[in-house]
């Protein structure tokens, strides 16, 4: 059977360069193989990559506009002017709002924080916030993770209410127009020469506060660095590249999270039953992030902000309990919508289907709920994972009557949702926009015929973008070929673990083991959907965890007799009953071929773990 993904091995030249650098530095070729794949090409950058330290972060004054923001905040602190902090309802917005609030108060400022309600305010700077700030006598508005496109709201704040607006953001709006703010900090704005462009909203906020601490002659270590757990959380949750300065934030932030002073974060970890010895980058992306996102998706993001700001243990426990309940509800909603969406995939002509537009049932069956706009984006991601097709999910909006949708697109496919929507806008859309991989859209008409026509047009546009149907299969980037004996605990501890924390742009390494004996599956989980695949090669036997194995690899479940596999494997560190152990994950597999290079970009199959 063919693998679900396209397997990509690095160019042989990369391995040769790794061997050269390994010999030159008397270090493992494995290490250099991983470093080169991540753009680390010399010894000084390798040292910085392997030992990230907050002391080596960039000078915040290199950010365009930061001096002006710091000067106005300093004035506000000295005059005790009320500062209104406006964030966003996602995790990046929550953490950056909480970071500004906690640190500015520590510096003596008077602040009033606000995050919008997804369903009431929508995205961007909320008119409701401007009115609230005006009524509260706010003199300065400081935005985070939003504001660069808020031309109307900023104009109202400045011209109608006489407030100074300071924008700190990492999003760029369309066109050349800039809001009439007193100062703007955004590493992507024209003229900015900051050496790292991958900061998210909370990363930008940290740099502003870093500059403010320096201007006020305050000790960063005690005033600011204690909040690096918030910076790490926002960075991972916003899927920022874990390279350069972000790598520093996350590495140092994880250390801080294990001893966090943030009562709210500690309460979520306790409610999720995560002991400090099990905290790693996955805790940010799979435990904390989804729970804080859940309240913003189906309730009020202000609940999450309140949790991140509280200094009361009892209140933290109550809020964490509420957030845990909201996350449970969100998961149930997501599962129900996913089941309905998957049911719509039956009978699709896949060779001629390039993009999918799926719609909520017009009538809701007894015991079911209508599709919720706060979670259809999550389901769209899961449909993309299942099918490889760029996908929109649409549901009617009760207030406006329009059908509103959320779309996702695999980044390696060549599809681009924002450009697709621009092509479809005049004929089909009231509104729409976003990025290549994620976007939102509102249809002019939600009639059955209009939906059918949009589906066909979206499919045609994606076909024109992608052109090769095979490009819709996801890509697995493989570090190299190995034997099972190479994937040992010693190798993990010595060579692989130091390259973490892993995430976007610094993925967990995946290795290709070829011609491995398949010995069967032990099914696990309440629904018996997941399994531990038993593998053996040259006397070395392992069990590799495979998520949704029954669904994704039915041919493997039914396999009889002696079968040999080519397996893409990943190593993880797991903690069970206080003891750390090595865990293998099977990311993809196929029946072993006589030609081991078939379907991959081949490199010499020598072990990469030679020293």
CATH number at residue 526: 2.40.50.460
Nearest to 95 by CA among 233, 207, 199, 221: 233
In 3D space, the residue among 500, 513, 516, 509 whose CA is nearest the CA of residue 479 turns out to be 509
Same domain, 156 and 218: yes
| Domain around 89 | 55-326
Q: Please tell me the distance from the alpha carbon of residue 29 to that of residue 25, in angstroms, as a whole number.
A: 10
Same domain, 464 and 316: no
Query: Are 147 and 296 in the same domain?
Result: yes
pLDDT at 264: 98
Regarding whether 493 and 425 lie in a shared domain, the answer is: no
In a domain, 45, yes or no: no
Q: Quick one: pLDDT at residue 122?
A: 84
Q: Give the pLDDT mean for 346-373.
A: 88
Q: Are residues 532 and 465 in the same domain?
A: no
Q: Tell me if 248 is assigned to some domain.
A: yes
Query: Domain check: are 164 and 260 in the same one?
Result: yes
Q: Any idea of the CA torsion for 446, 447, 452, 457, to the nearest 10 degrees?
A: -50
Please say which residue of 472, 487, 518 terminates a domain. 472
Q: Which of 296, 326, 356 is the last residue of a domain?
A: 326
Based on the fold, state whether residues 436 and 486 are members of the same structural domain.
Answer: no
pLDDT score at 482: 87
pTM metric for this prediction:
0.89
Calpha distance 563→120 (Å, rounded): 56
Q: What CATH number did the domain enclosing 293 receive?
A: 3.90.1640.30
Strand ranges of the sheet holding 429-434, from the earlier edge strand across to the other edge? 356-359, 391-396, 403-408, 438-443, 429-434
Mean pLDDT within 436-459: 94
Structure-model confidence comparison of residues 478 and 11, the more confident one: 478
Q: Is the pLDDT of residue 69 over 70?
A: yes
Quick one: 424 and 560 in the same domain?
Answer: no
- Structure confidence at residue 412 (pLDDT): 84
Write out pLDDT tens, residues 501-547: 999 889 999 999 999 999 999 999 888 889 999 999 999 999 999 99
Do 171 and 215 reside in the same domain of the chain? yes
Q: Packing angle between helix 244-257 and helix 228-237, nearest 10 degrees?
A: 120
d(CA 328, CA 309): 23
Q: What is the CATH number of the domain that holds 426?
A: 3.10.310.30
Structural domain count of the chain: 3
Q: Which of 270, 297, 326 is the last residue of a domain?
A: 326
From CA 365, how far away is CA 183, in angstroms rounded? 52
Please report where in the chains the tokens 């964490």 appear, as a residue: 320
- Considering the domain architecture, whether residues 271 and 173 belong to the same structural domain is answered as yes
Question: Which positions ≥6 away from 542 have C-beta within 8 Å?
Answer: 484, 487, 534, 535, 536, 584
449-454 average pLDDT score = 96
Instruction: Answer yes or no: is 319 within a domain.
Output: yes
Asked if 281 and 502 touch (Cβ cutoff 8 Å), the reply is: yes
Tell me whether residue 228 is in a domain.
yes
Lowest mean pLDDT of 8-22, 181-195, 329-343, 587-601, name the range. 587-601
* 98 compared with 577, residue with greater pLDDT: 98
């Amino acid at each position: 059977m063919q693998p679900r993904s396209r397997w990509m091995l690095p160019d042989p030249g990369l391995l040769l360069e790794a061997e050269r650098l390994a010999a030159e530095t008397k270090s493992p070729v494995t290490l250099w193989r991983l470093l080169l794949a991540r753009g680390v090409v010399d010894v000084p950058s390798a040292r910085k990559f392997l030992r990230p330290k907050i002391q080596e972060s960039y000078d915040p004054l290199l950010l365009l506009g930061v001096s002006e923001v710091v000067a106005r905040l300093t004035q506000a602190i000295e005059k005790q002017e009320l500062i209104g902090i406006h964030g966003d309802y996602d995790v990046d917005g929550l953490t950056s709002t909480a970071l500004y609030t906690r640190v500015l108060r520590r510096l003596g400022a008077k602040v009033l924080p606000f995050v919008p309600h997804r369903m009431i305010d929508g995205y961007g700077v909320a008119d409701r916030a401007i009115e609230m700030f005006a009524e509260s006598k706010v003199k300065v508005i400081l935005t985070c993770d939003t504001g660069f496109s808020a031309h109307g709201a900023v104009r109202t704040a400045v011209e109608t209410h006489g407030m100074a607006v300071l924008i700190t953001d990492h999003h760029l709006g369309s066109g050349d127009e800039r809001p009439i703010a007193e100062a703007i900090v955004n590493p992507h704005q024209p003229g900015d020469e900051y050496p790292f462009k991958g900061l998210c909203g909370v990363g930008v906020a940290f740099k502003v506060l870093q500059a403010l601490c320096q201007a006020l002659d305050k000790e960063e270590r005690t005033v600011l660095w204690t909040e690096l757990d918030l910076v790490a959380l926002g960075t991972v949750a916003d899927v920022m590249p874990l390279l350069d300065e972000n790598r520093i934030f996350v590495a140092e932030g994880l250390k801080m999270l294990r001893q966090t002073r943030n009562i709210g974060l500690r309460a979520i970890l306790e409610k999720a039953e995560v002991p400090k010895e099990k905290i790693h980058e996955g805790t940010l992306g799979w435990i904390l992030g989804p729970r804080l996102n859940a309240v913003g998706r189906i309730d009020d993001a202000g609940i999450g902000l309140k949790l991140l700001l509280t200094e009361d243990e009892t209140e933290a426990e109550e809020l964490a309990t509420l957030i845990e309940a909201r996350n449970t509800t969100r998961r149930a909603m997501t599962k129900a919508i996913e089941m309905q969406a998957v049911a719509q995939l039956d009978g699709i002509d896949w060779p001629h289907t390039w993009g999918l537009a799926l719609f909520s049932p017009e009538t809701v069956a007894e015991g079911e709920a209508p599709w919720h706009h706060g979670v259809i984006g999550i389901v769209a991601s899961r449909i993309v994972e299942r099918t490889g097709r760029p996908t929109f999910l649409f549901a009617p909006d009760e207030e406006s009557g329009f059908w509103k949708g959320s779309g996702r697109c695999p980044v390696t496919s060549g599809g681009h949702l924002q450009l697709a929507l621009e092509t479809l806008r005049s004929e089909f859309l009231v509104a729409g926009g976003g990025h290549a991989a994620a976007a939102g859209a509102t249809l002019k008409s939600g009639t059955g015929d209009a939906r059918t026509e949009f589906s066909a047009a979206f499919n045609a546009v994606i076909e024109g973008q992608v052109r090769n149907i095979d490009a819709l299969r996801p890509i697995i980037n493989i570090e190299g070929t190995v034997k099972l004996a190479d994937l040992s605990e010693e190798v993990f501890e010595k060579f692989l673990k130091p390259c973490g924390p892993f995430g976007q742009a610094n993925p967990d390494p995946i290795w290709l083991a070829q011609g491995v004996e398949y010995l069967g599956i032990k099914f696990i989980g309440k629904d018996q959907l997941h399994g531990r695949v038993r593998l053996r090669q040259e006397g070395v036997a392992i069990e590799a965890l495979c998520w949704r194995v029954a669904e994704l690899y039915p041919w493997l479940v039914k396999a009889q007799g002696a079968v040999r596999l080519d397996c893409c494997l990943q190593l993880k560190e797991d903690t069970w009953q206080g003891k750390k152990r090595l865990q293998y994950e099977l990311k993809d597999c196929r029946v072993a071929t006589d030609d081991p290079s078939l379907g991959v970009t081949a490199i010499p199959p020598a072990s990469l773990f030679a020293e």
